[in-house]
Amino acid sequence: MKTIQIISLDGQPAAIAVDGIAHVAEHVPPHKLEHVQAKALYALRIEAGEIPGPYDDTAAERYADQAADVRAALTARLRARRRRRAAHARRPHP
């Protein structure tokens, strides 16, 4: 029997996760898309047995928030690395 997990956003269905695939609704606003995708990934990881279930929307919200924090930290590190490289490239070489 297939398990279908409904992913909500602000109390409304925003995606479903079934058979290892997430389908995100077209009405999800672009600024909320990554959040919904992260919640769907959480559901898919439960389905795959990678993390314990069952799916819980509160836990999915935490997962999505943590994913956003990790992404922000990685983006900040990448920007800092690019600034350092650019500054190094501008230095006069003997």
Asked whether 5 and 16 are in contact (CB, 8 A), the reply is yes
> Residue 37 to residues 8, 44, 78, 79, 91: CA-CA distances in angstroms?
11, 10, 22, 24, 42
Q: How confident is the model at residue 92 (pLDDT cuts 50, 70, 90)?
A: confident
How far is residue 3's CA from residue 76's CA, in Å, rounded to a whole number? 38
How far is residue 59's CA from residue 67's CA, in Å, rounded to a whole number? 12
Per-chain mean pLDDT for the chain: 93
- Whether 93 shows a pLDDT value over 70: the answer reads no
pTM over 0.85: no
pLDDT digit string, tens, across residues 56-76: 999 999 999 999 999 999 999
